[in-house]
A and B are shown apart, each in its own frame.
Chain A
Amino acid sequence: MSDAKLVVAPVGVLLERRRQHPLGPLLRLQGVGQALLFGAVAGGSRGGPQRLLSLVPIVLLVAFRAVEWATTSYEVAAAALRIDSGLLTRRQREVPLDRVQQVDVRRGLRHRLFGLCQVTVDAAGSYGGEVTLVLSEAEAARLRSTLAPPSGASEPGQPGEAAAIGDQTAPPALVRLRPGALALAGITGAKQLVMLAVVGSALQLVDNVPAGLRNGLVDRLPRGTGWLVAAAVLALPAWCALAALAQLATDLGFTLRSDGAMLQVRRGFPTEREASLALDRVQLVRVDHGLLRRPLGLVAVQVAAAGSGSTADAQVSRLTVPILPVGEVDDLMAAVLPGAAPLPELIPAPPAAWRRQLLRRVVPATVGAVIATALAWPWGLAAVVLVPVAGGLGHLAYRGLGHACTPTHLVTRRGGLGRRTVVVPVARTQSARVRQSRLQRRAGLATLHLDAAGRGNVGVAVDLPAEEARRLAAVVTSAAAARADERAVRR
């Protein structure tokens, strides 16, 4: 007993107990807006010394943040990152080093002003499993090298030399994206959805403008079809430019590196983000052939880890290459999931699947058209157009289906207009599910789900021959390799 104690105490401490940077909690913007607003409301209408009332909420907030700073400390000891926090309710959180999935570093403009950065440590599994600390650059580098040592050290927890962020000896980049490519990514990609949200909130703003002012503005707008056409012509480039800018803000200077053990991504301006993920923690890779990108031969690639990923903003536990020529996917795959490269030729779904994919779309479209016709004769008849459209989509969806199973990886593909290919390392899947609806059973088909660790990390192969689905599902259990690979999540 006493021997064990002797060994554990001095050797176990890798990073002695310390606090965040004093400015850290103060720089958190959460709640500041509300405090200012609340203060303005409370003190706004008063005169004289009572005006000071408006300062009360913000002073309270600063005091709370100061207490938060004073009572929060972290250390790395006994193979775990330990965070103590709270004044009245003391909270201790312990993240075992061998469960750390991913370490993210984020520098906002305000952090950079003071030479700080925000470090997020993400552990496998439960919701809200991540820990965020605001530290000075040097401290962050120390913590990071303790949690995820440079490739020289074999085990996590060995304090390697504190590799400074932006180290000169960084390995060559796997992917480096130029602003032009990023702009294209913005125009063809998911940023379009962000744009819709922006336009929505802008319209809301217009609503809030006082009616008198708004009517005045509307009266001054030029009239006539010429102007309308001009506005329509200008709207599309403006839309595209905004989408491109949104992408540039999140991903400017995107660089993905790998040193053989860790993947590292740097991106963004003015907020700079850096994520590092151990290669043996990669749970799944998605290759998205978006609707607008397929004709251009471009894809986006997502590398998913088992993180909790509860912060939607930071997209913790997910490394996304926003745009990549199709031809370079195999090279990237060779670095991320070596066993899966090059991606195999996919086996198309059996002919029986064609009927099902078609029926699934044509039947609802037909029902919809009949109802529309019945409700709004004769104009509802126009809805009949939907039926062949649905048929076409069904045919495309069938063409999009495909799967392949190498000894180590399952590759599946689905999607009609935009396709998605998912690569799952079989040895890292947690469980398998086979679903068979009544129609599938009649057609001898089944859908296979392979669950990888983490939220939403599932490889789905739709409409396989039932026998094949059952055979592949059994693969997850018969994985001697899987036991050796268990480190991916648990160790």
Chain B
Amino acid sequence: MAPEGQELALHKAVLVLWRLQALALAAAVAVPLIAVAILASALPVGVRLVLAVTAALGVVPAATLPGVFYRGWRYRVGEEALELRHGVLTVKRSIVPYFRVQHVDLSQGPIERALGLARLKVHTASAGTDASLPGVELERAEEVRRLVLDRAEVGDGV
């Protein structure tokens, strides 16, 4: 059982997922650009060179940003509420009291499954609630889900 009431980071493995996603995105932009740079012989060589180099440089943020986001993430399974804190330029904190929880979604994509990770999303009656926890270990996610739902039950004794 992971410690309760403490601020916790996401699981390290989520970095792999985020880097893969970021690289895929960078590649989706870079590959057509590089293809143009190679094939478009009508363009001046300088322009083609700049194009290719800019596209290739997209790899740099793709490699570094996930780490920055990772360091910005904290969550706490408190006594009364689930508390999330994330964001780099804009820091967002969410507090979701357990007894407001309507349902909890747990989901896993193929890569997440391979890494043993899961995503947890907590829903309340408000559409504005923003409480999803990306990238925690599957067992941990299940544990948090059970905890949240158990406490949601307790508050339901009206």
Q: Which residues from chain A sit less than 8 Å from chain B, CB to CB?
A: 124-125, 306, 429-438, 441, 449, 451-458, 470, 473-474, 476-479, 482-484, 486-487, 489-491
Task: Judge whether B95 and A451 touch: CB under 8 Å.
Answer: no
Known contacts A431-B100, A432-B95: A491-B127 contact under CB 8 Å: no
Which applies to chain B's interface (DSSP): helix, strand, loop or mixed? loop
**24 interchain pairs, CB-CB under 8 A:** A125-B102, A430-B97, A431-B94, A431-B95, A431-B96, A432-B94, A433-B94, A435-B90, A435-B91, A436-B92, A449-B128, A453-B124, A454-B126, A454-B127, A456-B127, A477-B78, A477-B97, A482-B97, A483-B99, A483-B155, A483-B158, A486-B158, A490-B102, A490-B156
Please name the residue on chain B nearest to A479 by beta carbon.
B97
Q: Which residues of A sit under 8 angstroms from B97, Cβ to Cβ? A: 430-431, 476-477, 479, 482
Q: Which residues of B sit under 8 angstroms from A124, Cβ to Cβ? A: 125
Task: Judge whether B128 and A456 touch: CB under 8 Å.
Answer: yes
Cα distance A436–B131 in the bound complex, in angstroms? 17
Cα distance A435–B90 in the bound complex, in angstroms? 7
Known contacts A306-B125, A454-B125, A478-B80: A437-B100 contact under CB 8 Å: no
Name B100's contact: one of A430, A473, A474 (CB within 8 Å): A430
Q: Which residues of A sit under 8 angstroms from B158, Cβ to Cβ? A: 483-484, 486-487, 490-491
- Give residues of chain B (92-112) contacting chain A, Cβ–Cβ below 8 Å: 92-97, 99-100, 102
Cα distance A195–B108 in the bound complex, in angstroms? 48
Task: Judge whether B92 and A435 touch: CB under 8 Å.
Answer: yes
Distance in Å from the Cβ of B138 to the closest Cβ of chain A? 25
- Per-residue CB contact flags for chain B residues 58-96 toward chain A (1 = under 8 Å, else 0) read 000000000000000000001011000001011111111
Please name the residue on chain B nearest to A485 by beta carbon.
B158
Name B90's contact: one of A436, A484, A490 (CB within 8 Å): A436
Distance in Å from the Cβ of A489 to the closest Cβ of chain B? 5
**B142: CB under 8 A from chain A?**
no
**B6: CB under 8 A from chain A?**
no
Cα distance A124–B123 in the bound complex, in angstroms? 13
Task: Judge whether A458 and B128 touch: CB under 8 Å.
Answer: yes
Cα distance A429–B99 in the bound complex, in angstroms? 11
Cα distance A487–B157 in the bound complex, in angstroms? 11
Cα distance A50–B125 in the bound complex, in angstroms? 56
Task: Judge whether B93 and A434 touch: CB under 8 Å.
Answer: yes
- Per-residue CB contact flags for chain B residues 138-158 toward chain A (1 = under 8 Å, else 0) read 000000000000000001101
Cα distance A429–B96 in the bound complex, in angstroms? 10
Question: Knowing that A125-B102, A432-B95, A454-B125 are A-B contacts, what are 13 other residue pairs whose CB atoms are under 8 Å apart, sorted by A's residue number?
Answer: A430-B128, A433-B130, A435-B93, A437-B89, A449-B128, A451-B127, A452-B126, A453-B125, A456-B128, A457-B128, A476-B95, A486-B158, A490-B102
Q: Which 9 A-B pairs have the closest CB atoms?
A: A453-B125, A430-B124, A451-B128, A451-B126, A430-B126, A477-B80, A434-B93, A477-B81, A431-B129
Distance in Å from the Cβ of B18 to the closest Cβ of chain A? 22
Distance in Å from the Cβ of B42 to the closest Cβ of chain A? 28
Cα distance A478–B102 in the bound complex, in angstroms? 19
Distance in Å from the Cβ of A463 to the closest Cβ of chain B? 14
Q: Which residues of A sit under 8 angstroms from B124, Cβ to Cβ? A: 430-431, 451, 453
Q: Which residues of B sit under 8 angstroms from A474, Cβ to Cβ? A: 95
Q: Which residues of A sit under 8 angstroms from B81, Cβ to Cβ? A: 476-477
Q: Which residues of B sit under 8 angstroms from A453, Cβ to Cβ? A: 124-126
Q: Which residues of B sit under 8 angstroms from A452, Cβ to Cβ? A: 126, 128
Q: Which residues of B sit under 8 angstroms from A432, Cβ to Cβ? A: 94-95
Distance in Å from the Cβ of B104 to the closest Cβ of chain A? 14
Q: Which residues of B sit under 8 angstroms from A431, Cβ to Cβ? A: 94-97, 100, 124, 126, 128-131
Name B93's contact: one of A433, A451, A489, A491 (CB within 8 Å): A433
Task: Judge whether B99 and A482 touch: CB under 8 Å.
Answer: yes
Cα distance A241–B46 in the bound complex, in angstroms? 64
Q: Which residues of A sit under 8 angstroms from B129, Cβ to Cβ? A: 430-431, 451
Cα distance A204–B107 in the bound complex, in angstroms? 48
Task: Judge whether B92 and A433 touch: CB under 8 Å.
Answer: yes
Please name the residue on chain A nearest to B99 by beta carbon.
A483
Q: Which residues of B sit under 8 angstroms from A430, Cβ to Cβ? A: 96-97, 100, 124-126, 128-129
Task: Judge whether B155 and A486 touch: CB under 8 Å.
Answer: yes
Task: Judge whether A437 and B90 touch: CB under 8 Å.
Answer: yes
Q: Which residues of A sit under 8 angstroms from B95, Cβ to Cβ? A: 431-433, 473-474, 476-477
Q: Which residues of B sit under 8 angstroms from A482, Cβ to Cβ? A: 97, 99
Distance in Å from the Cβ of B111 to the closest Cβ of chain A? 29
Task: Judge whether A457 and B126 touch: CB under 8 Å.
Answer: yes
Q: Which residues of A sit under 8 angstroms from B125, Cβ to Cβ? A: 124-125, 306, 430, 453-454, 489-490
Q: Which residues of A sit under 8 angstroms from B94, Cβ to Cβ? A: 431-433
Cα distance A437–B100 in the bound complex, in angstroms? 27
Cα distance A8–B81 in the bound complex, in angstroms? 37
Task: Judge whether A486 and B99 touch: CB under 8 Å.
Answer: yes
Distance in Å from the Cβ of A182 to the closest Cβ of chain B? 31
Task: Judge whether A436 and B126 touch: CB under 8 Å.
Answer: no
Q: Which residues of B sit under 8 angstroms from A441, Cβ to Cβ? A: 91
Distance in Å from the Cβ of A145 to the closest Cβ of chain B? 25
Most-contacted residue by chain B among A430, A470, A489 (CB, 10 A):
A430
Please name the residue on chain A nearest to B81 by beta carbon.
A477
Distance in Å from the Cβ of A75 to the closest Cβ of chain B? 26
Distance in Å from the Cβ of A261 to the closest Cβ of chain B? 18
Q: Which residues of A sit under 8 angstroms from B127, Cβ to Cβ? A: 451, 454-456
Q: Which residues of B sit under 8 angstroms from A437, Cβ to Cβ? A: 89-90
Most-contacted residue by chain B among A124, A454, A455, A477 (CB, 10 A):
A477
Cα distance A55–B27 in the bound complex, in angstroms? 57
Distance in Å from the Cβ of B60 to the closest Cβ of chain A? 21
Cα distance A306–B126 in the bound complex, in angstroms? 8
Please name the residue on chain A nearest to B80 by beta carbon.
A477
Distance in Å from the Cβ of B70 to the closest Cβ of chain A? 19
Distance in Å from the Cβ of A109 to the closest Cβ of chain B? 35
Q: Which residues of B sit under 8 angstroms from A434, Cβ to Cβ? A: 92-93
